[in-house]
Structure 1
Amino acid sequence: MRLAVIVLLLLGLSFVVLQVAGAREDKTDTDRGSSGSGWTPPMKSGEVDEEAAEDWEPPALMAGVLRVFGGFVPAVAVEQPEVIVRAGEEAVRSVPPDTDSRMRAARARLVAGSVATISFPVPEKGRRTLCLCLPGQPMTRDATTACPAGWRDENIPFCQRGSDVTMIPVSELGAQFVYAAPRGATVRME
């Protein structure tokens, strides 16, 4: 019973934190052409900028929930946890299917290099690309062209704290990750 109460409290707290963070970040200058946070579509003069909104995607609630509850999600077991990506090349790693676990999480951390991308399949949406960078490192648009626009807005000119790690949900069907780095990088899957 106590465990159920604790879980419900954590769920409620995570919901409140996500709502407050979204509301706080949405109070940006509406003439910037972007909400900055990704929580609302790009705005221009108080109206939704239809042209800029074509590429806009709302933030995945799962990403925020995984940050809060990531320790409770079973990790993906990988044979080679360290992925070394040579400059201009790609490295591919697969996560095998696991019928015993409906949802797992691949935790990725950039341990060397300035920026790396990880692309993976998303059911019914094709592939999605996430980017990692080392906090404090200078970032340029040229080095981050494969990264989502919201990520670039947040991490240019300098990579922000927490941008060196991400969690990727993996279903029981498994996944295939494609790693790339314009200048080479090392990513550790945990």
Structure 2
Amino acid sequence: MTTARQVRKAALYLPEVEEGARSGTITFSVRGKVFVSIADGGVVQLRLSEEVIVDALERHPSGEQLVQRGAVIGFRIPLADINGQDLNGLVRQAWIFRAPKRLAAALAEADSGTLPSHSDLPTSIGKPATQALLSAGVVTLDDVAARPKAELAALHGVGPKALRILEEAVRESSRIQASEERQR
């Protein structure tokens, strides 16, 4: 059975997500736009495109369309009726549907594992770790230094070897910056 905790984890893994609450409903939004919520009674509601809604209804017969003012705006299903993998995919699709286009494009780029030109992350951490970090909005060594080690370790794809390499790279970067400041 899928839980609200899993919804929270899947939503907060995505860039720029904020958690909130309205009238007993837990909401997750990206730049002020709600993309998923958990209503009382353990029902998850996702804002999705029409084609994703149609697919979700075919795959999950206990789900239903989410209608607002006569318009279909998403998909609703009891958490008990959906497996975690399907839910994670729908949460991601909902985020993509509601996120600004540039932010969604940045996530797609992160999924490819391609480092942006301004990134100084070491390539030796491997593609899975790179994808995980980029998907979480960690693009530079400064971003790595700003995050708790436990948070980075919790990202799927970031293992002990990647953490060790990142720690060494952050230390080296800090040493170089301190040296440059002394020379000024």
The TM-score, its normalising length taken from structure 1, stands at 0.22
Which structure's residues are more often strand, by fraction?
1
Task: Please identify the structure whose Cα radius of gyration is greater.
Answer: 2
Higher RCO (C-alpha under 8 Å, 6+ residues apart): 1
